[in-house]
Structure 1
């Protein structure tokens, strides 16, 4: 069984995955902000299920460092990091300030950078481990009014690719799970921008999203559990979780991108 850290585990995919892995015998640490305030109930509920809850704010490097130190002091090792913490800004790119753009990247992209930076010295030292990033198919196909979110996830995907090759000599894996839109609290907690002068198109976008038949979030949870339990060295770089038409299209795109990447690396002498 593995020692697993999951960030952003108070709700959504993180919470469901923490519960599922704990029920399967893994030693799970749920990284959650404000565990003595607004997330105190989440801490109580997860603790009752055998999940160890630790304070972790992914926007703060010192918080990430403390969380990893606390985890290692208790568990003695760390096998898997699931970088799940995230949020979404919805609206025309023009409507957001540079400060808001920074906020979007601070959680979705730099959050993983901070946590991985804290964890990697220990994973390298033990010669094993895996970083699992929660990405999005929006990073592959960007829709209007989701530009900031898509950009942050595209950046996360690029970092995942770099980590994958850089860390392989140390026995550490880096992979990403690209999920379609599933009903979780991320939508309830979204930050919306003023839509003028995009009101008509933005209204149509919101209506279209609302009319979609929601998928089952358990599909993402099941895929994450499978990635955690996949033997070392056998995890695919990218895992897509999406309804059939989206899955097929993104899979073809990923396959082509992987072939191009191999050709580029070969041509430039990169191993």
Structure 2
């Protein structure tokens, strides 16, 4: 994993590292010799056990830090802690997120705000905290963990899909705007894999409106559960892909990476190719090609 820009060891900050993709990624990167800072919210409360387990992994350079991506001060402190400890930050992995599941009508405005506060503004806060350091370095990587839902919105996942679509749009803007500063912004879109995100899903609060969709929602959950079990797949497929992005040399990382079962992968990849062609044609027609990074 030698790279002329980073050397053999990257300094990586992973948000949402208490469980799921974040935890698997932090562990995998540390075991591969990288210096990892695992951002965990509420390390002395509900995530105390997870934080202790991460900190107890032997023979690796992994440090747990308190990090709540819904708080700009917390985001700033976490990045400063990394810089103070190591003197640099090479890779920021914006993994922290949650999912709200149910009919779009049944979510209150406060719930919509809460979904975006973690999934979208969480990445915005972290990137705002990290970017001044990355620009001074003249290098660095922002990796957003997106979702296939940003490309294909299905019933009863509209709120989550909207938040991931927003992250995808921001990633595109960051990619082009930051390229002249030597900073890369990329996104990994994952299909549904078995992690704790589904178990911790937030349901729609308006029970009266939720009841209107009750039968359809129940059937949707049953169908999705049955099909997911049929398709299979391991969460480690996603963490492995994130590790590969971290270890890819500068300038070689794809703007978008898809991790999904074969049929879904082919469909989403085709969608991405068409989107790339559309973006290139649009830029040429509007005269802004010079401001777009290489595609």
Q: Is the structural similarity TM-score above 0.5?
A: yes
Please, what TM-score do these two structures have when normalized by structure 2? 0.91
CA distance in 2, matches of 1:65, 1:180: 31
SS of structure 1 residue aligned to 2:212: coil
CA distance in 1, matches of 2:285, 2:134: 31
- What is the correspondence of 1:18-97 to structure 2 with a 5 Å cutoff? 18-49=26-57, 50=60, 51-97=62-108
Aligned to 1:269: 287
Q: How many residues align?
A: 271
Aligned to 1:8: 16
Please, what TM-score do these two structures have when normalized by structure 1? 0.99
In the alignment, which of 242, 246, 254 is matched to residue 272 of structure 2?
254
SS of structure 2 residue aligned to 1:78: coil
SS of structure 2 residue aligned to 1:104: helix
In the alignment, which of 173, 184, 209 is matched to residue 224 of structure 2?
209
Q: C-alpha root-mean-square deviation of aligned residues, in Å?
A: 0.8
Task: Please report how far the alpha carbon of residue 116 of structure 1 lies from its aligned counterpart in structure 2 after TM superposition.
Answer: 0.3
Task: Please report how far the alpha carbon of residue 93 of structure 1 lies from its aligned counterpart in structure 2 after TM superposition.
Answer: 0.4
Q: Is 1:131–2:142 an aligned residue pair?
A: yes
CA distance in 2, matches of 1:187, 1:216: 14
**Unaligned runs of at least 5 residues, structure 2:** 1-8, 291-295
- What is the correspondence of 1:115-264 to structure 2 with a 5 Å cutoff? 115-193=126-204, 194=207, 195-212=210-227, 213=229, 214-264=232-282
SS of structure 1 residue aligned to 2:178: helix
**Unaligned runs of at least 5 residues, structure 1:** none
